[in-house]
């Protein structure tokens, strides 16, 4: 039974991590402007995150320590600080976006402006992180997030021209007045959204919270091979719904209300409510993950006691960081900044931070001191090296593309 529940960790990171506010918005924007012509980026992202999350889970299961903990020891304080700075900045930005996403989802349910919800959401988030057990967090958020499957059902219910969708997948640039620069910008943004750095750190630290051992290596494989592809499937369905409803209507998605509208068109009010609750669960789950990831990263870097299993009196610095990042995020979002804009910045800058996250993981996963005889094989290392080249290109291209296209305008 415990092992079955263990799979929920992968589901949680797939739904709450892979499909978070960044994926919801970016996939719908891309679908409404480029159809499914960027679906290949999601596939590339799913394979990449699966490879590196597996390595990260393996390191934790075999060493009994979270990846970031080891990175500091293995690469030294300077490299670890670069890793911490890049990942933490992106994770904090993502946390802000997720809190905004929760508020936007509540607006869709109630019609009340999102800024009203920011403070209550932040307080509730802190109470959940303080009081609720890790196992309950992962199971509830993971299962509720599965409601996003409504996007898949909606896509079938819309009765699209599958041949046309297939042609969109096969083509590069659609003939809708978009240019190569914008296409490249959204390819990088989608890749950044799929390979968000906090996902692997949460996966690794979550595995430590669940006390994984070498006997749980299979769990790591199941989680990444089931959980992440499920997230990728949902991402493509979100883009597909926008491609079928919004693209022909000349509507470029720019808000969360437009992301979920195709589900209402396909399934009516019941479907709409289901998917909005799913969005609420996915963004809440991701807010929990990102807040915890901030705590994990800083505590592991500083060598403080960390973990949800420890009470605030046992890990005061860790719990203080959780409270601190929630307060900062809450204050920023209360300023009235558009959560969708924060989301767009978070996915682009995630792409910039990718090499800082993934290179150290590859180094640690090849060190027998931590993984014994289970160092990466030649095929896994070959694939990982290809991905390092891809993440370097994405990281270098992200900011120039953002400037040249004025955020994909």
Measured between alpha carbons, how far is 40 from 120 in angstroms, rounded to an integer? 39
- Determine the angle formed by the axes of helices 197-209 and 134-145, rounding to 10 degrees: 130
State the DSSP H helix or E strand holding residue 311, giving kind and residue range, or none if neither.
Answer: none
Give least dist CB 39 to another protein, A. Answer: 19
Measured between alpha carbons, how far is 283 from 22 in angstroms, rounded to an integer? 9
- Choose between 260 and 299: whose C-beta lies nearer to another protein: 260
Q: Tell me which residues in 259-288 interact with another protein (CB under 8 A).
A: 260-261, 264-265, 268-269, 272-273, 276
The pair of three-digit structure tokens given for residue 217, joined into one six-digit string: 């290596």
Pick one of 1, 111, 335, 377: the residue that binds another protein (CB under 8 A): 111
Where does this chain touch another protein (CB under 8 A) — which range of 2-10, 101-109, 215-223, 381-389?
101-109
Positive/negative CA dihedral, 193, 357, 219, 286: negative
Q: Tell me which residues in 33-52 interact with another protein (CB under 8 A).
A: none
From residue 122, alpha-carbon distances to 128, 130, 284, 323 in Å are: 10, 12, 10, 9
Residue indicated by tokens 């992200």: 398
Between the CA atoms of 206, 208, 211 and 214, what dihedral angle is there, to the nearest 10 degrees? 110
Pick one of 152, 153, 337, 363: the residue that binds another protein (CB under 8 A): 363
State the DSSP H helix or E strand holding residue 309, giving kind and residue range, or none if neither.
Answer: none
Give least dist CB 151 to another protein, A. Answer: 15
Burial of 110 (0-12, 13-18, 19+ CB in 10 A): exposed
Site string for another protein, 171-210 (x = CB under 8 A): ------x-xxxxxx--------------------------
Q: Within 1-114, where are the H helices? A: 2-12, 21-34, 39-63, 67-110
Pick one of 107, 168, 329, 346: the residue that binds another protein (CB under 8 A): 107
Pick one of 79, 226, 341, 380: the residue that binds another protein (CB under 8 A): 79
Return all residues near 211 (Cβ < 8 A) that are at least 6 apart: none
Half-sphere exposure of 225 (CA within 13 A, CB side): 6
From residue 3, alpha-carbon distances to 49, 221, 302 in Å are: 22, 13, 32
Give least dist CB 136 to another protein, A. Answer: 29
- Choose between 208 and 273: whose C-beta lies nearer to another protein: 273
Give least dist CB 29 to another protein, A. Answer: 11
Quick one: residue 211, left, alpha or beta (phi over 0 = left, psi -120 to 50 = alpha)? left
Nearest residue to 342 (alpha-carbon basis) of 256, 227, 275: 256
Give least dist CB 323 to another protein, A. Answer: 31
- Choose between 182 and 204: whose C-beta lies nearer to another protein: 182
Measured between alpha carbons, how far is 384 from 358 in angstroms, rounded to an integer? 9
Give least dist CB 62 to another protein, A. Answer: 19
- Choose between 153 and 363: whose C-beta lies nearer to another protein: 363
- Choose between 89 and 396: whose C-beta lies nearer to another protein: 396
Where does this chain touch another protein (CB under 8 A) — which range of 102-110, 134-142, 315-323, 329-337?
102-110
Q: Tell me which residues in 243-262 interact with another protein (CB under 8 A).
A: 245, 249-252, 254-255, 257-258, 260-261
Nearest residue to 375 (alpha-carbon basis) of 386, 358, 363: 363
Pick one of 310, 337, 399, 407: the residue that binds another protein (CB under 8 A): 399
- Choose between 110 and 314: whose C-beta lies nearer to another protein: 110
- Choose between 171 and 314: whose C-beta lies nearer to another protein: 171
- Choose between 121 and 261: whose C-beta lies nearer to another protein: 261
The pair of three-digit structure tokens given for residue 148, joined into one six-digit string: 């996003």
Could you say whether residue 1 binds another protein (CB under 8 A)? no
Measured between alpha carbons, how far is 337 from 333 in angstroms, rounded to an integer? 6
Q: Tell me which residues in 113-172 interact with another protein (CB under 8 A).
A: none
Binding site for another protein (CB under 8 A): 74-76, 78-79, 107-111, 177, 179-184, 245, 249-252, 254-255, 257-258, 260-261, 264-265, 268-269, 272-273, 276, 363, 393, 396-397, 399-401, 403-406, 409
């Amino acid at each position: 039974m415990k092992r079955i529940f263990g799979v929920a960790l992968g589901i949680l990171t797939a739904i709450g991590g892979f499909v978070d506010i960044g994926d919801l918005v970016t996939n719908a924007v891309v679908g409404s402007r480029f159809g499914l012509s960027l679906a290949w980026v999601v596939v590339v992202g799913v394979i990449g995150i699966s490879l590196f999350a597996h390595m990260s889970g393996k390191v934790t299961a075999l060493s009994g320590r979270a990846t970031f903990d080891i990175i500091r020891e293995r690469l030294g304080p300077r490299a670890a600080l670069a890793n911490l700075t890049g990942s933490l900045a992106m994770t904090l930005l993502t946390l802000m976006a997720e809190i905004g996403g929760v508020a936007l989802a509540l607006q869709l349910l109630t019609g009340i402006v999102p800024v009203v919800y920011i403070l209550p959401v932040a307080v509730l988030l802190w109470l959940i992180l303080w009081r609720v057990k890790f196992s309950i967090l992962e199971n509830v958020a993971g299962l509720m997030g599965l409601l996003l499957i409504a996007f898949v059902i909606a896509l079938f219910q819309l009765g699209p021209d599958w041949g046309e969708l297939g042609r969109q997948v096969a083509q590069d640039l659609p003939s809708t007045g978009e240019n190569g620069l914008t296409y490249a910008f959204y390819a990088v943004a989608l890749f950044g959204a799929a390979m968000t750095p906090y996902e692997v750190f949460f996966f690794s630290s979550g595995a430590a919270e669940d006390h994984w051992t070498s006997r749980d290596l299979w769990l790591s494989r199941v989680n990444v091979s089931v959980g992440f592809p499920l997230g990728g499937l949902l991402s493509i369905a979100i883009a597909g719904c926008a491609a079928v409803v919004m693209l022909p209507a000349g509507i470029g998605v720019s808000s969360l209300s437009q992301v979920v509208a195709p589900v209402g068109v396909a399934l009516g009010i019941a479907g709409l409510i289901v998917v909005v609750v799913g969005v609420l669960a996915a963004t809440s789950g991701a807010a929990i993950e990102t807040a915890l990831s901030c705590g994990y990263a800083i505590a592991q870097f500083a060598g403080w006691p960390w973990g949800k299993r420890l009470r605030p009196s046992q890990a005061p610095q860790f719990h203080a960081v959780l409270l601190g990042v929630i307060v900062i995020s809450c204050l920023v979002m209360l300023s009235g900044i558009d959560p969708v804009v924060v989301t767009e910045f978070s996915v682009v800058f995630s792409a910039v931070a990718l090499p800082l996250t993934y290179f150290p993981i590859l180094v640690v996963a090849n060190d027998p001191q931590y993984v014994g005889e289970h160092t990466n094989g030649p095929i896994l290392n070959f694939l990982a090296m290809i991905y390092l080249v891809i993440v370097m290109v994405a990281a270098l291209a992200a900011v120039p593309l953002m400037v040249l296209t004025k955020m994909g305008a």
